[in-house]
Structure 1
Amino acid sequence: MKYYIITGEASGDLHGSNLMRALKKVDSAAEFRFWGGDLMLAESENIRKHYKDMAFMGFVEVVVNLRKIFKNLSDCKNDLLANRPDALILIDFPGFNLKIAEFAKRNDIKVFYYISPKVWAWNQKRVLKIKKVVDHMFCILPFEVDFYDKWGMKVDYVGNPLLDAIAAYPFNSNFRNDNQLDSKPIVAFLPGSRKQEIERLLPEMVKMQAHFPEKQFVIAGAPTFTAEYYEQFKQGTQIPVVFGKTYDLLKNAEAAIVASGTATLETALLDVPQVVVYKGNPLSIGIAKVLVKIRFISLVNLIVDKLVVKELIQDDCNEKNLKAELDSILNDEQYRNTMLQNYDELDQQMGEPGASERTAKLIMEYLSLK
């Protein structure tokens, strides 16, 4: 079978690579063409465009980059018709992918959506469009099944692929020595994978070193940037940056400050107490406050449906608040233990590893029915 996979960000690259590996197991003749990143490139050399040329975060940023976005859409549509896959597999990235789904449906290309768009957060009526243009939806968050059911759409809950990634990860017992880290307790900084996130969040994060000199702070670097890029945000500190070792970093961390997104869930699944942070373009945030209809921004809080981890958003993401929350996590034993107990509840809801394999098998089953 020929599979055409599209994602536009780092987390999608991770999930896409795991799905490609799983598809190879159930389809020995699998051929791939994709829009993704380095992890997917390790599974197949047939990349069409790298996600670093596609990821724009926030309403304003999207408007500023409209010309590039429209060109990407046009290129993708033309490439789809030129290569006509047996299955188009879309991974999250809804602003782009739902337009491609509509195009593919009009051109009789089977559309699978892996990792649902967050339609439950805002403009829920988008489900009506999804019902028309997506043949099969595979969800990775437990509450999404009930949400879609209320709109009369049957979806498959396949578990969460982060469980697969963590279960398969070869943790390095010599992580500290290999990265010249000393024996002091580690606090991990995960400032995100997008340029806008890093520029807004990392300068606030690095201020914590002055308040907690007994701790060792380490930055999880995004694969699309260099160590030199991060220097401009360090404000004279000597905080190291490690690349491609985020799970090892978290496994060795006592606490973490994490940009809102998939990383908050990864941090919780690895049992690291955290504070979640987010800063966006002020206009984008203003628009989001009008449109978004959810209580929390962190996946951890959304899944458990209560405030498990503190969220510091926009102006609340400042030195004073970060210091206070990090102090509670590090030095208030009851506060820390309560967070970890809530992580246990999260683990129960998330289920077992195997999302990639379950999704690959379902795709094969549905393709055999056509």
Structure 2
Amino acid sequence: MKYFIIAGERSGDLHGSNLITAIKKADSEAQIQGWGGDYMTTAGATILKHYKDLAFMGFFEVIQNLSKILGFFRLCKNQIEEFQPDAIVLIDYSGFNMRIAKWAKPQGYKLFYYISPKVWAWNQRRALKLKQTIDRLFVIFPFEVDFFKNYDYEVEFVGNPLFDAIAAFRPNPDFLNENNLGEKKIIALLPGSRKQEVEQMLKLMVATKKQFPDYQYVIAGVGNLSKEFYERFLTDDIRLVFDQAYDLLSHSEAAMVTSGTATLETALFGVPQVVCYKMSLITYSIASMVVKIEYISLVNLIAQKEVVKELLQGELTTENIAKEIKKVLNNSIERKKQIADYQKVREILGSTGASAKTGKRIVEILNNSNLVNN
């Protein structure tokens, strides 16, 4: 069968690659096209648009680039119509994917959504839109099942795909030597993957370095940004590694992390962290009116309490970042408590196999649908 998969961010590309592997295992003749990145390409998909071209963040930034984004919608629709897939599989990336779903449903396409839009966080009425347009929704947090029950929408909890990625990870024994990292202990900087946020976060993160002379800072660079972009932040004691975040976390004492998937990845590696996030004033003003959740980091949302410190907007200063990092160093009480709470988060999330389950179920549902139609 033919599958069109849309992932608009780096994390979606990673999870999409594992999903593709599972689909190909269940459907050996699968033809897969879509939007994504290098991971999905390696897994065997033909990528028609790379996610690095889609990196717009915040309400104001989206409005500024509206004509370009509308052009992306037209391009994607044309590519789907040309390919005529048996199924469209949407991965996270809600603003774009929910709009594609609204268009695709009346056209008669079978629609699957893997990693639900965070409708429980803001504009909860979007849950009804998902129910109306998506044939099967696969969720990765246990609390999402109960949330959608409130809308009489039965969804499938498949576990969290980060367990797949981490389970497949094999540490590089030469990581430190290959990256010329000395003997000093490491504080990791994970500033995100979008150019705007990386620039903003790194300015604040690296400014704390003078308060930690006994540590080296290592930035987790991403391949969609150039080495030249990062160079202004580098010194002898602030280094850069590209696309090696898991190896970096494996050697880190603590981390400064931009809110997003990386907060949960850092927790699953057992690295104490401080969560950092700042957006434009206009975006923040709008978000503060519509967001319905107490926390923004996945770690705290899953635990339903403050496991990691979140520094947002005005609270995100170099002084506060340094103060919170100091609290989780040197075998402190705060460090031990954060690591213990991480274990509880792991227990809530379950185990490996989310992408494998989802890929298998998509093929099963399509096969059963074809049997009924025939």
When normalised by structure 2's length, the TM-score is 0.97
Q: Which residue of 1 aligns with 2:212?
A: 212
Gap change, CA 1:202 and 1:237, over 3 Å in 2: farther
Hey, what's the Cα distance between the residues in 1 that align with 2:177 and 2:332?
28
Q: Which residue of 2 aligns with 1:298?
A: 297
Q: Where does 1:21-40 land on structure 2 (aligned, <5 Å)?
A: 21-40=21-40
Hey, what's the Cα distance between the residues in 2 that align with 1:87 and 1:111?
6
Hey, what's the Cα distance between the residues in 2 that align with 1:55 and 1:9?
7
Hey, what's the Cα distance between the residues in 2 that align with 1:369 and 1:27?
13
1:184 Cα deviation from its structure 2 partner: 1.2
Hey, what's the Cα distance between the residues in 2 that align with 1:55 and 1:98?
17
Hey, what's the Cα distance between the residues in 1 that align with 2:11 and 2:196?
16
1:207 Cα deviation from its structure 2 partner: 1.4
Q: Where does 1:163-242 land on structure 2 (aligned, <5 Å)?
A: 163-234=163-234, 238-242=237-241
1:237 Cα deviation from its structure 2 partner: 5.9
1:85 Cα deviation from its structure 2 partner: 0.4
Q: Where does 1:152-171 land on structure 2 (aligned, <5 Å)?
A: 152-171=152-171
Q: Which residue of 1 aligns with 2:276?
A: 277
Q: Which residue of 2 aligns with 1:87?
A: 87
The question of whether the paired residues in 1 share the 8 Å contact of 2:7 and 2:13 is answered with yes
- Does 1:256 find its partner at 2:255? yes
Give the AA of the match of 2:327.
S
Q: Which is worse superposed, 344-353 or 329-338?
A: 329-338
1:314 Cα deviation from its structure 2 partner: 1.2
Give the AA of the match of 2:194.
R
The question of whether the paired residues in 1 share the 8 Å contact of 2:11 and 2:261 is answered with yes
Give the AA of the match of 1:85.
P
> 1:271-295: CA deviations, max 9, x gaps?
0000000011111011000000100
Tell me the secondary structure at the aligned position of residue 330 of structure 1. Answer: coil
- Does 1:110 find its partner at 2:110? yes
Q: Which residue of 1 aligns with 2:149?
A: 149
Q: Which is worse superposed, 40-49 or 131-140?
A: 40-49
**Structure 2 residue ranges without an equivalent (≥5):** 370-374
The question of whether the paired residues in 2 share the 8 Å contact of 1:206 and 1:237 is answered with no
Tell me the secondary structure at the aligned position of residue 240 of structure 1. Answer: strand
Q: Which residue of 2 aligns with 1:338?
A: 337
Hey, what's the Cα distance between the residues in 2 that align with 1:76 and 1:48?
9
Give the AA of the match of 1:89.
V
Q: Where does 1:121-140 land on structure 2 (aligned, <5 Å)?
A: 121-140=121-140
The question of whether the paired residues in 1 share the 8 Å contact of 2:223 and 2:242 is answered with yes
> 1:64-107: CA deviations, max 9, x gaps?
01001100001111111111101100001111101111111111
The size of the alignment, in residue pairs, is 369
Q: How well do the aligned residues superpose, as a CA RMSD in angstroms?
A: 1.1
> 1:245-272: CA deviations, max 9, x gaps?
1000001000000000000000000100
Q: Which residue of 2 aligns with 1:356?
A: 355
**Structure 1 residue ranges without an equivalent (≥5):** none
Tell me the secondary structure at the aligned position of residue 118 of structure 1. Answer: coil
1:332 Cα deviation from its structure 2 partner: 5.9
Q: Which residue of 2 aligns with 1:3?
A: 3
Q: Which residue of 2 aligns with 1:244?
A: 243
Hey, what's the Cα distance between the residues in 2 that align with 1:228 and 1:255?
26
Hey, what's the Cα distance between the residues in 2 that align with 1:172 and 1:146?
40
When normalised by structure 1's length, the TM-score is 0.98
Give the AA of the match of 2:258.
A
The question of whether the paired residues in 2 share the 8 Å contact of 1:199 and 1:233 is answered with no
1:45 Cα deviation from its structure 2 partner: 5.4
Hey, what's the Cα distance between the residues in 2 that align with 1:183 and 1:22?
41
1:233 Cα deviation from its structure 2 partner: 3.5
Q: Which residue of 1 aligns with 2:372?
A: none
Deviant stretches of 4+, over 4 Å: none
The question of whether the paired residues in 2 share the 8 Å contact of 1:193 and 1:222 is answered with yes
Hey, what's the Cα distance between the residues in 2 that align with 1:148 and 1:232?
46
- Does 1:62 find its partner at 2:62? yes
Hey, what's the Cα distance between the residues in 2 that align with 1:237 and 1:104?
52
The question of whether the paired residues in 2 share the 8 Å contact of 1:92 and 1:116 is answered with yes
The percentage of aligned residue pairs carrying the same residue is 52
1:43 Cα deviation from its structure 2 partner: 1.9
1:298 Cα deviation from its structure 2 partner: 0.1
Hey, what's the Cα distance between the residues in 2 that align with 1:240 and 1:256?
14
